[in-house]
Structure 1
Amino acid sequence: MIERVYLKEYVTFDEVELEFSEVELEFSKGLIVFTGPSGAGKSVLMRGILSIFGYFDLNAKLGEAIVDADIDLEKFGLEKDDILIFKQMKKNKNRFFINNQAVSRKIIREIADKFLNYLSLREIKEFENENILLLLDKMNDNKKHHQNLKTYNEKYNLFKSIQKELHTVLFLEKEAAEKKEFLKYELEKIEKIDPKHGEFEELMEIKKDLSKIEKIKEKVFEVERIFDFEYSVYELLEMSGLESEFFSNAMNELRIAIDKANEKADYLENVDIEEVLERLSNLQDLIRRYGSVEEALEYYEEKKKELEKLENLSFEKEDLEKKLELISKDLYSLADIISDERKKTAKKLNEKLNYYLEKLYMPKAEIVFNKTELNRLGIDNVEIIINEIDINTISTGEFNRLRVAMLASKLEYENQEMTLFLDEIDANLSGEESMSVAEVLKYLSSKYQIFAISHQPQLASKANKHFLVEKKDGKSMVRELNKNERIEEIARIIGGKEKSQKAIEYAKELLKENND
C-alpha cells in the first residue's frame, strides 16, 4: 500500500505532498478520491504518482513514494529493508531508485506490478484467456484438481521437449540425404589414407635414416677393425694382473650395437623410398587440413557417429512419434478433466459476476468455454459475453462497470493486497449507476487501496480520504478536505460554481449516509 507521495516541480504543480496512512484505514487501505474542476490537473497528478513506479515518464524534478508491501527485493539483486522507498529523479534523464539503490525502469515497473494495478482505458488484461483460467484454478479448492494441474504441467513440459527433439530430427531428415553423401565422402578420404597414431613421426625418422645408410656401413667397417686388437688387449691385461671382465663386457656390447646397426642398414636397404615419400605426402595433406594425424582421426570418429545418427534417423523419428502420441493422449485426457473442473468453478464465478453486474445496473454476463489446441494451460479458451456481444465491442461505461464487477467477484481469492488506480471509472454514468459503482468500490476498498478520479458526487461521498485538485494563476494544488470542505466540493460537483442550498443539503445527505 502507498503511504506517502511527494512530487517536486511537476508540470503545473510546484510541490505535492500526500499522506494516505491513517489509523482507521488498516495498512492504508481504503477509497481515496480526487475531485476538482476540469483541467485542474487530476489526471496529471495520477500520472505523476504512477510515473514514480515506471508507468510513465516523469516530468518532475523529484518523485518519491513510501510503500508498505512484502516484496522479495533480493530476487532483484537489491538489499532487503522493512519499507520500500521508490524514487525518481530527473536531471538530464530519469533515474530510478529503490531504497537509494539505483535500478532500471524495467525493474522498478516489474517490482511495482507486484502490488499495483493501473486500470487504464479499455485495458482488457484481466479478461484475457490466461488470466481468467488462472483465476478459475485459484478459486477451485479441490486438491485433486491442483494435483492434475501439476501433473499436466510436468507432462506438457515433457511433451514440448519431445516435440522439440522431433522437430530437430525432421529438420535433419530433410537434409540427411545430401549430408550423408558429404559425410561419406569425408570419411572415405580419411579411410583411403588410413592414418595410424604416431605414423608420421616414424616415417619422418625413416626418411632421415635413409640418407645415412652408406655412412652407417662405412662406420661399421671402420669399427669392426677394433676386433683385430682384441686378443692383444687381453694379453696386456693378463700381464698387468688386471681383471679383463669389464673389457669383455664392453666388447660384447659393441658386437650387439654393430649387429643392430647392420640390421638397420639391411632393413633400410629394403625400404621403398618412393613409397615412404608418397605416404608422407598423403599424411601431410591430412595434417594441413586437420592440424595433425590425431586430429584427423578424432574428426573421423566424430563424423562416423554423425553418419550413424543420420542413418538411424528414421528409427529415432518413429520412436519419438510414438512417445508423442502416448503423451498427447494423456494430456488430452487430463485437459478434459481439468476443463470439467473449470466449468464447475466458472458457474460460481458467473453467479458472483452477475450478482455485482445486477448491482451495477448491467445485463447478465456469460462465461463461455471453447476448445482450442493443446497448450500449456490445457484446451480451454474462455470468453465473457454480455447480451451475446463480445466485451471488446461494449461501451466504455459498460466495460468499466464490468471491470469493477470482476474485481469484486475475485476479491476473496486474491492472496495479496493491491493498490488500484482508476481514472474516471464512473464517467458518463447516470446518478443511479454512479452510486452503484461507488458502493462496489467501497466494498473493494476493504482489501484494496483505491485511488480514483471522479466527477460524480456519489463516489466522492464514499471516500475514506477526499482530495481536491484545483488551479489558480496557472498553478495546480492538491489538498485533503475536511468534512465541511467536502460538503462544499460535493455540492459544487452537483450544482456547479453556483452551489444551491438544495445541492448543499444533498451533499450533506450523501456524506451522512456514508458515515452512518
Structure 2
Amino acid sequence: MIERVYLKEYVTFDEVELEFNEVELEFSKGLIVFTGPSGAGKSVLMRGILSIFGFFDVNAKISEAIIDNKLDLSDYGIETDDEIIFKQIKKNKSRYFINNQAVSKKIVKEIAKKFIDYLSLREINEFQSENIIKVLDKIVAEKDYYVKLEEYKKLFEEYKKLKKKLEEIEQNEKNAKERIEFLKFELSKIEEINPKPDEFDELMKIKKDLSKIEKIKEKAYEVERIFEFENSVYEFLDMIEEDSEFFSNAMNELRIAIDKAHEKAEFLENVDIEEVLERLSNLQELIRRFGSIEEALRYYEEKKEELSLLENLTFEKTNLQKELQQIDTKLHEIADYLHEKRKKAAEIFEKKLNSYLKKLYMPSAEVNVKKEALNPLGADIAEIVVNDIDINTISTGEFNRLRVALLAGKLEYSDEEKTLFLDEIDANLSGEESMSVAEVLKLLSKKYQIFAISHQPQLASIANKHFLVTKNENKSFVKELNENERIEEIARIIGGKEKSQKAIEYAKELLKAGNG
C-alpha cells in the first residue's frame, strides 16, 4: 500500500505532501477520496501520483512515494526493506530510482503493475476472457483441479513446441528436394578434393623444397669432401693429446644429415610437381571460399548432417504427428474436465456478480463459459454479458458500475492486496446510484487501498481519508480535511458555492451514516 506521496513543482502545485498510513480500521486498506471544484487539479494530481510509478511522464521536479508492499525485487537486482521508495528527479531529463538504485521507466512501471491497478475511463482488461477464467479457477479451489491445470499448462507448452517443429518440417518438405540437390552438389565438391588437416602447409613445404633440390644435392656432394681429411684430423688430435670423441660425434651427426639430404632429394625427385601444384590450387580454392581447410571440413560435416535430416524428414514427420496426436487427445481430455468445473464456478460467480449489480441498480449479467480451440488455459472462452449489451458501447455510468461489481465479485476469491486508482468512477450517476457505488467501494476498501476522484457527496461521505483540491490565482493546493471541513466540502458538492443550511444538515447526515 502507498504510505506517502511527495511532489515538488508539479504543474500548478508548488508542493504536495500526502500521508495515507493513518487509516487504522481493522482489515481495512482504506478509501481515499479527492474532491474539489472542477478544474482545481484533481485529475492532474492523480496523474502526478501515477507518474511516480511510470504510468505517465514525470512533470514534477521531484516526486517520491513510499510503499509497504513486501515485493521481491531480487530479479531486478534491487535490495528491499520493510519499505520501498520510488523516486524521480527531473532536470534536463527524468531519472527514476527504486530504493536509491537507478532504473528505467519501463522497469518502474513493470514493478508498479504488481500492486497498482489504474482504472481509466474505458479500461476493459478486467473483462477479458483470461482474467475471468483466472477468477473461476480460484472459485473452484480444488487441489486436484490445480494439479490438472498445471499438467495442462505444461502439456500445452510442449504441444506448442512440437507444433512449431512440425510446421518447420512441413515447410522444409516443400523446399527439401531442391535443397537436397544443392547439398549433394556442395558435398561432392569437397569430397572430390578430399582435403586433410594441415595438408596445405605440408604441400607448400614440398613446393618450396622442390625449388632448391638441385642446390641441396650440389651442396651435399661438396660437403662430403670433408671426409677425405677425417684421418688427418684424428692424427692431429692424437699428436696434441686431445680427446677425439667430440670430433667423432660431430662427423657422425654430419653423416646422418647428409644421408637425410640424399633421402629427401631422392623423394623429391619422385614427386610430380604438376600434381603438387594442382593439389595446391584445389586446396587454395577451398581456403578462398571458407577461410581455412578446417572451416571447409566443419562446413562439410554440418551440411552432411543437414542432408541426413532432410532425407529423413518423412520419418521424423510421421513420428511427430503421432506424438502430437497423443498430446492433443490428452489436452482435450483435461480441457473437458476444466470446462465442467469452470461452468459450475461460473454459476457461483454469476450469482455473486448479480448480487452487486442489483445493489448498483444494474441489470443482471450472465457469466458464460464456451468451449473453443485449445489455448494456454484450456479450451474455454469466458465472457460477461449484460442484457446482450456490448461492453464496448454501454454508457460510461453503466460501464463503471459494472467494473465496480466485477471487482467486488472477485473480492473473496482474490489473494492480492492492491492499490486501485479510480478517476470519477461515480461520474454521470444519480444520487441513488452514487450511493450504491460508494457502498460497494467501501466494501472493496477492506481488500484494496482505493484512491478515487469524486464529484458526488455519497463517496466523499464514506471515505477513510478525504482530501480537498483547490485552485487560487492559478496555483493548486491539496489538504486533508477534518470533520468540520468535510461537512463544508460535502455541503458545497450538494448545493454549490451558496451552501444552504439544508445542504449542511444533509452533509452531516451523510457523514454520520458513512462513519456509522
Give runs of aligned pairs for residues 96-245 of structure 1, distance below 5 A.
96-208=96-208, 210=210
Q: CA 1:210–1:351 in 2, change beyond 3 Å: closer, same or farther?
A: same
Q: Counterpart of 1:96 in 2: which secondary structure? A: strand
Q: Counterpart of 2:65 in 1: which secondary structure? A: strand
Residues 3 and 28 in structure 1, CA contact (< 8 A), matched pair in contact too: no
Which residues of structure 1 form unaligned runs of 5+?
238-242
Give runs of aligned pairs for residues 359-508 of structure 1, distance below 5 A.
359-508=359-508
Q: Which moved more, 1:249-258 or 1:372-381?
A: 249-258
Partner of 1:318: 318
Q: Which amino acid aligns with 2:188?
A: E
Give runs of aligned pairs for residues 78-93 of structure 1, distance below 5 A.
78-93=78-93
Partner of 2:355: 355
Count residues with an aligned counterpart.
Answer: 516
Give runs of aligned pairs for residues 197-346 of structure 1, distance below 5 A.
197-208=197-208, 210=210, 268-346=268-346
Q: Which moved more, 1:148-157 or 1:74-83?
A: 74-83
Q: Which moved more, 1:60-69 or 1:278-287?
A: 278-287
Which residues of structure 2 form unaligned runs of 5+?
238-242
Instruction: Report sequence identity in percent.
Output: 71
Residues 427-481 of structure 1, C-alpha deviations (whole Å, 9 max, x = no match): 1111211111111111111221112121222112211222222223333222222
Q: Counterpart of 2:367 in 1: which secondary structure? A: strand
Q: CA 1:272–1:154 in 2, change beyond 3 Å: closer, same or farther?
A: same
1:147 offset after TM fit, Å?
Answer: 0.5
Residues 159 and 327 in structure 1, CA contact (< 8 A), matched pair in contact too: yes
Alpha-carbon distance in 2 for matches of 1:69, 1:364: 36
Q: Which amino acid aligns with 1:349?
A: F
Residues 369 and 382 in structure 1, CA contact (< 8 A), matched pair in contact too: yes
Alpha-carbon distance in 1 for matches of 2:234, 2:64: 111
Partner of 1:44: 44
1:206 offset after TM fit, Å?
Answer: 4.5
Q: Counterpart of 2:302 in 1: which secondary structure? A: helix
1:65 offset after TM fit, Å?
Answer: 2.1
1:195 offset after TM fit, Å?
Answer: 3.0
Calculate the aligned-residue CA RMSD, in Å. Answer: 3.4
Alpha-carbon distance in 2 for matches of 1:230, 1:32: 116
Q: Which amino acid aligns with 2:503?
A: A
Residues 253-307 of structure 1, C-alpha deviations (whole Å, 9 max, x = no match): 9999888776666655554443333333333333333344444333323322222
Q: CA 1:99–1:287 in 2, change beyond 3 Å: closer, same or farther?
A: closer
Q: CA 1:112–1:210 in 2, change beyond 3 Å: closer, same or farther?
A: closer
Residues 32 and 452 in structure 2, CA contact (< 8 A), matched pair in contact too: yes
Q: Which amino acid aligns with 2:127?
A: F
Residues 52 and 64 in structure 1, CA contact (< 8 A), matched pair in contact too: yes
Q: Which moved more, 1:56-65 or 1:155-164?
A: 56-65
Q: CA 1:248–1:345 in 2, change beyond 3 Å: closer, same or farther?
A: same
Q: CA 1:383–1:270 in 2, change beyond 3 Å: closer, same or farther?
A: same
Residues 371 and 379 in structure 2, CA contact (< 8 A), matched pair in contact too: yes
Residues 346 and 369 in structure 2, CA contact (< 8 A), matched pair in contact too: no
Residues 22 and 28 in structure 1, CA contact (< 8 A), matched pair in contact too: no
1:314 offset after TM fit, Å?
Answer: 2.1
Q: Which amino acid aligns with 1:50?
A: L
Alpha-carbon distance in 1 for matches of 2:87, 2:206: 80
Residues 424 and 453 in structure 2, CA contact (< 8 A), matched pair in contact too: yes
Q: CA 1:459–1:231 in 2, change beyond 3 Å: closer, same or farther?
A: closer
Partner of 1:240: none
Alpha-carbon distance in 2 for matches of 1:293, 1:18: 73
Alpha-carbon distance in 2 for matches of 1:252, 1:37: 115
State the TM-score, normalizing by the size of structure 2: 0.88
Q: CA 1:293–1:461 in 2, change beyond 3 Å: closer, same or farther?
A: closer
Residues 88 and 94 in structure 1, CA contact (< 8 A), matched pair in contact too: yes
Q: CA 1:419–1:234 in 2, change beyond 3 Å: closer, same or farther?
A: closer
1:112 offset after TM fit, Å?
Answer: 1.8
Alpha-carbon distance in 1 for matches of 2:164, 2:276: 51
Partner of 2:7: 7
Q: CA 1:181–1:10 in 2, change beyond 3 Å: closer, same or farther?
A: same
1:6 offset after TM fit, Å?
Answer: 2.3
Alpha-carbon distance in 2 for matches of 1:259, 1:98: 82
Alpha-carbon distance in 1 for matches of 2:8, 2:112: 21
Residues 7-54 of structure 1, C-alpha deviations (whole Å, 9 max, x = no match): 223222233222222263358722122222222222222222222222
Alpha-carbon distance in 2 for matches of 1:19, 1:254: 100
1:217 offset after TM fit, Å?
Answer: 6.6
1:356 offset after TM fit, Å?
Answer: 0.5
Q: CA 1:149–1:269 in 2, change beyond 3 Å: closer, same or farther?
A: same
1:144 offset after TM fit, Å?
Answer: 1.0
1:218 offset after TM fit, Å?
Answer: 6.3
Residues 28 and 446 in structure 2, CA contact (< 8 A), matched pair in contact too: no
Matched, 1:22 2:25: no
Alpha-carbon distance in 2 for matches of 1:10, 1:442: 30
Q: Counterpart of 1:391 in 2: which secondary structure? A: coil
Q: Which amino acid aligns with 1:328?
A: D
Residues 23 and 464 in structure 2, CA contact (< 8 A), matched pair in contact too: no
Q: Which moved more, 1:465-474 or 1:105-114?
A: 465-474
Residues 23 and 30 in structure 2, CA contact (< 8 A), matched pair in contact too: no
Q: Which amino acid aligns with 2:177?
A: A
Alpha-carbon distance in 1 for matches of 2:276, 2:13: 94
Q: Which amino acid aligns with 1:148?
A: K
1:413 offset after TM fit, Å?
Answer: 2.1
Q: CA 1:25–1:100 in 2, change beyond 3 Å: closer, same or farther?
A: farther
Q: CA 1:299–1:46 in 2, change beyond 3 Å: closer, same or farther?
A: closer
State the TM-score, normalizing by the size of structure 1: 0.88
Alpha-carbon distance in 2 for matches of 1:106, 1:42: 26
Q: Counterpart of 2:60 in 1: which secondary structure? A: coil
Q: Counterpart of 1:82 in 2: which secondary structure? A: coil
Q: Which amino acid aligns with 1:350?
A: E
Alpha-carbon distance in 2 for matches of 1:392, 1:122: 8
Q: Which amino acid aligns with 1:126?
A: E
Q: Counterpart of 1:470 in 2: which secondary structure? A: strand
Alpha-carbon distance in 2 for matches of 1:75, 1:294: 43
Q: Which moved more, 1:16-25 or 1:216-225?
A: 216-225
Residues 468-501 of structure 1, C-alpha deviations (whole Å, 9 max, x = no match): 2222333322222222222222222222222233
Q: Which moved more, 1:115-124 or 1:198-207?
A: 198-207
* 4+ runs deviating over 6 angstroms: 215-237, 243-263
1:123 offset after TM fit, Å?
Answer: 0.5
Alpha-carbon distance in 2 for matches of 1:354, 1:207: 95
Residues 28 and 445 in structure 2, CA contact (< 8 A), matched pair in contact too: no
Residues 31 and 450 in structure 2, CA contact (< 8 A), matched pair in contact too: yes
Alpha-carbon distance in 1 for matches of 2:510, 2:154: 55
Residues 28 and 447 in structure 2, CA contact (< 8 A), matched pair in contact too: no
